[in-house]
Structure 1
Amino acid sequence: MNTSSPDKQSWWDAIEIYRRPRLIGIFSMALGTGFPLTMILATLTLWLGQVGVSAAVIGTFAAVKVPYAIKFLWSPLIDNFELPILGKLFGRRRSWLFVTQAMLVTALVVLGATNPVEDITLTYIAAICVGVCGASQDIVVDAYRIEILKDEELPASAAMYQYGYRVGNLIAGLGALYFAEQYSWHVAYYAMSSLVLFGTAAAIFLGEPELKGEELVHEEEKNISKWLDITEKSPSVWKIFAENLYLSVVVPFKEFLSRHGWYLILLFVLLLKVGDGMASSMTSKIIADLAFTNGEIAFANKTVGFFATIAGVFAGGILMKVAGTYRGLFIATLIMMVSNLSFAVLAEVGHNVPLLAFTIGFENFSTGVGGTLLIAYMSGLCNLAYTATQYALLSSFSNVGSSFLSMPSGYLYEGLGPSSFFIFTTVAALPGIVLLLWMRKLGSVSEDLRVKS
């Protein structure tokens, strides 16, 4: 007889779920997706700086992030086109995963083989190729993890994905530095490319996700065939092209836009992390302005901040499981908003190491909670017939909110001053809360973890 109270059992179930093989597999897959961006941002800029490339040229390498922001443009191809031969052998998702991973390894090896001093253009092109391949791998992995999981596993999977992604970042950063120190930057890139094997092994172990959402696809196939009057045995090339274009590109967005309050959902995803993104972009600036030493920064950021992020990710997975979608998102949004105020306090107090550690820890904890809740929420929004396309769209909107909309942060910081700036970033989070309340009122936030396929 189970004597545990319902609340205690709910909390225990939320923790125990992390032991499931599917969740461990998602962690392994995420580890393989977390390192490419590190290799073409922090690691690459360090390499370029050490060999004497100018700051102006290094700044242009920020363009390597663009593929991650626009990946929804080619996601319909990955979502709907089955690769010949490989698709029959491994299934649609895994065949695309293996191909994108092979392309990613090739691009990383080519990048590592370049000489930025002699030909910076080739290094630039190779880095962009790594970005495209890494973003493409993300499309496949996001679709795979959403489709392979049971409904109740979505919140925990979001946490495991964040864990794996951040561990991949950490390994890539430290591992690349080790190999560069012991051997060369070329060897560092060759060695780090092997991290894709974590995702390969997980896909082999977990197998191909079950194909779902066929009813909607078949219904749309009938509609377009009727509209194009495809009755002959050998329809014209343009009719075949129009049919595939409609089914692959138009229908996934049409299905999403047919939902009640779809515009509020997109706006919420866009605005949720604006305040947090603005504050994060100026974190290093305020730390420098307050003259903290490298040792103090390392303690607060790399030690306290790292473990706070881990705690936040774990708390986010449990929060959504226990509190539900709406309450979980509401609590996470409030935590993210309030965390920015701690930077305003730091700006007023000045050089204070314990307060710095608390501020960085609180900010990282809130980011972990909010990121986990957002990933779980966006995952549940995807119709299983068009997972890759719809998740790529939602994650691109999220990236726009946290990155592009926070670009004026430097000007605001200089114009308002540190304290007022961080108070402003707190206020900037209010539209997200208002939208969430509005979505709740209109019924656009469902407690169901998935939309009906």
Structure 2
Amino acid sequence: MRAMLKAIQTEHGWKESLAAVFQRQVFYMSLLGFSAGLPLLLIFSSLSLWLREAGIDKSAVTYFSWAALGYSFKFVWAPLVDCLPIPGLTRWLGLRRSWLLLSQLGIAGAITLMATSNPIIEAELFYMAMGAVLLGFSAATQDISIDAYRIEAVDADMQGLVSASYIAGYRIGMIVSGAGALYLASYFGTTKDLYNYQAWQWSYHIMSAFVLVGILATFLITEPIKRESQFEHAPKHYSGLLLAFVLCVTGFVTIFVISSDAATESKAYFTGLFGNQALSGLLVELIRLCIGLAIAVGIGKICIVMRIVNEEMFVNSYVAPIKQFFQDYGLKTAWLLLALIGLYRISDIVLGVVSNIFYQDLGYSKNEIADAVKLFGLIMTIFGGFIGGILAMRLGVMRMLFIGAALVVITNLAFIILLYTDHNLYALYSIVAADNLVAGLASAAFVAFLSSLVNIKFTAMQYAIFSSLMTLLPKALAGYSGGIVESIGYTGFFTFAASIGVPIMILVVLVSRHLGVDIEHSESDSSNQQKTQEGFAPSEK
């Protein structure tokens, strides 16, 4: 914990902070970020358009989005990435790079499988679905590996900067797989009225070739920590842990499959009871999730009783990381940290859900929104991320965390200005610039903060839990953003979105005090004050 405290309050000079931008680790992280951003839209928007052009029903199209659930539940298999060596690869590349390469090969294989499946043929639609599931699982595994590598390979005070580089690469990867895939498909000759399977096939084949960027980065980087002594269990124990994981996941998925009809009936019943379809759907899915998790836990216990998996190894993989976190920070501080992790992004995520609808309601065209938000906004997010990374080095992570939270409150209120400017593109671009700049700045500081909390013994597992927790509640609340707008109007909504950011600022201060970090005075000020108290004036260095 002392090392963590030193890292998050360490301040560097401007020259050192700016020079860090040109370090090799920053460049390598942008390549890995590109590889991480590439798969997501190949499951969502790009795939949805492909399926719709092929004449697939909307209900079936939306089912494919479930393939991305791996991103939300990646903490379930994160312990495997922390402790399970891959035969042959781990001895050659090391633990982190071997999992990176395996997941990247899985991504390339999954995209290729989707490319060779024509959804208009019912039998091949199944293979496309399997490809989408494999893509979601492999991409989430790659995310686990990249996060673990970044935390272990880069000093804590550099985390903000490498996070900014990662986010920049991630956004570019999303552009390539989103707009890039659509441009390619259109170029090769497919349209909404005239479906051309070969056009989509070539588009996805080209997307799979872009995975080489991530593979190149995997061979350029070096393994951060050598773990030969960590792999102390027999091969059968590792195989048993993997088998237990597969059985638990199978049980979890089976519950969702067999309960689908009952879920539909339950949603209709609760909708009639509460008069709220969204709330009813959330309640039913939460019940299914709890039942599924209970079944998975039960299967895990059975595997331990039947000695399919080594109990000590299972506990060390799943229980120890959580226990270690509370031991590192103490019960009260740990709960404050978890509260900050779960709530820090709530203000901007709640607003982000309705921002495009807001622009449209003000009379801005789709092209104007696309140019302002998707292009200009993206540039500002990347720029803001690098500014946030540099300032995190210069001022310290906790101070930047507070500044980011405060700026989010201000920019959320600034949206009200657009209500009184009619159709003014200068105002639109100004608000988009401020919003995305602050979002990039706050995100870089927040990722650096999360990285500093992780115990190096359980890098993958702990960070996977943090990254899942940080969007769980905000996304749940964001689902009601539209209803809030309908109830209190846009002025009230933006005021609400800003006001829920104020407690976050207070929470940052409380966490800082519990960690013993002073965000009001600079490190140099504290040093001078200490020297003065010892009888030395600041000038007597």
* TM-score normalised by L of structure 1: 0.87
Deviation at 1:412, TM superposition (A): 1.0
* Contact 2:400/2:442 (<8 A) preserved: no
Which residue of 355, 361, 374 maps to 1:302? 374
Q: What's 2:220 paired with?
A: 205
Residue identity in the other structure for 2:388 = G
Which residue of 87, 90, 94 maps to 1:91? 94
* Contact 1:304/1:361 (<8 A) preserved: yes
Q: What's 2:171 paired with?
A: 166
Residue identity in the other structure for 1:117 = I
Moved more, 181-190 or 138-147: 181-190
The separation in 2 between residues aligned to 1:75 and 1:400, in whole angstroms, is 17
Please identify the structure whose Cα radius of gyration is greater.
Answer: 2
User: Which string of whole-angstrom CA distances, capped at 9 and with x for unpartnered residues, describes residues 397-417 of structure 1?
Assistant: 112144233111121121121
Which residue of 452, 469, 475 maps to 1:397? 469
Q: Which runs of 5+ in 1 are unaligned?
A: 1-7, 219-235, 448-453
Q: What's 2:286 paired with?
A: none
Deviation at 1:237, TM superposition (A): 8.4
Deviation at 1:444, TM superposition (A): 6.7
Go from structure 1 to structure 2 and tell me whether the alpha carbon gap of 1:199 and 1:332 turns closer, same or farther (over 3 Å shift): same
Deviation at 1:52, TM superposition (A): 3.4
* TM-score normalised by L of structure 2: 0.73
1:387 and 2:459 matched: yes
1:105 and 2:108 matched: yes
Q: Which runs of 5+ in 2 are unaligned?
A: 1-10, 189-198, 234-304, 520-541
Percent sequence identity is 30
Deviation at 1:214, TM superposition (A): 7.8
Residue identity in the other structure for 1:307 = I
User: Which string of whole-angstrom CA distances, capped at 9 and with x for unpartnered residues, describes residues 73-126 of structure 1?
Assistant: 110011111112221111111111111111111111112222333335543343
The separation in 2 between residues aligned to 1:388 and 1:147, in whole angstroms, is 10
Deviation at 1:53, TM superposition (A): 3.3
Which residue of 388, 393, 397 maps to 1:316? 388
Deviation at 1:146, TM superposition (A): 1.4
Deviation at 1:348, TM superposition (A): 4.0
The separation in 2 between residues aligned to 1:299 and 1:426, in whole angstroms, is 26
Secondary structure of residue in 1 paired with 2:56: coil
Deviation at 1:365, TM superposition (A): 0.9
Secondary structure of residue in 1 paired with 2:457: coil
RMSD: 2.5
The separation in 2 between residues aligned to 1:60 and 1:413, in whole angstroms, is 28
The separation in 1 between residues aligned to 2:370 and 2:308, in whole angstroms, is 61
Deviation at 1:445, TM superposition (A): 5.7
Deviation at 1:17, TM superposition (A): 0.7
Q: How does 1:52-201 map to 2 (within 5 A)?
A: 52-119=55-122, 120-183=125-188, 184-201=199-216
Residue identity in the other structure for 1:189 = Y
* Contact 1:325/1:445 (<8 A) preserved: no
Which residue of 403, 406, 419 maps to 1:347? 419
Which residue of 324, 341, 364 maps to 1:255? 324
Secondary structure of residue in 1 paired with 2:49: helix
The separation in 2 between residues aligned to 1:177 and 1:265, in whole angstroms, is 41
* Contact 2:101/2:218 (<8 A) preserved: no
Secondary structure of residue in 1 paired with 2:55: coil
The separation in 2 between residues aligned to 1:385 and 1:323, in whole angstroms, is 28
Go from structure 1 to structure 2 and tell me whether the alpha carbon gap of 1:166 and 1:444 turns closer, same or farther (over 3 Å shift): farther
The separation in 2 between residues aligned to 1:445 and 1:238, in whole angstroms, is 46
* Contact 2:388/2:440 (<8 A) preserved: yes
Q: What's 1:3 paired with?
A: none
The separation in 2 between residues aligned to 1:335 and 1:411, in whole angstroms, is 25
Q: What's 1:231 paired with?
A: none
Deviation at 1:240, TM superposition (A): 6.8
Secondary structure of residue in 2 paired with 1:349: coil
The separation in 1 between residues aligned to 2:470 and 2:55, in whole angstroms, is 35
Residue identity in the other structure for 2:219 = I
Q: How does 1:12-91 map to 2 (within 5 A)?
A: 12-91=15-94
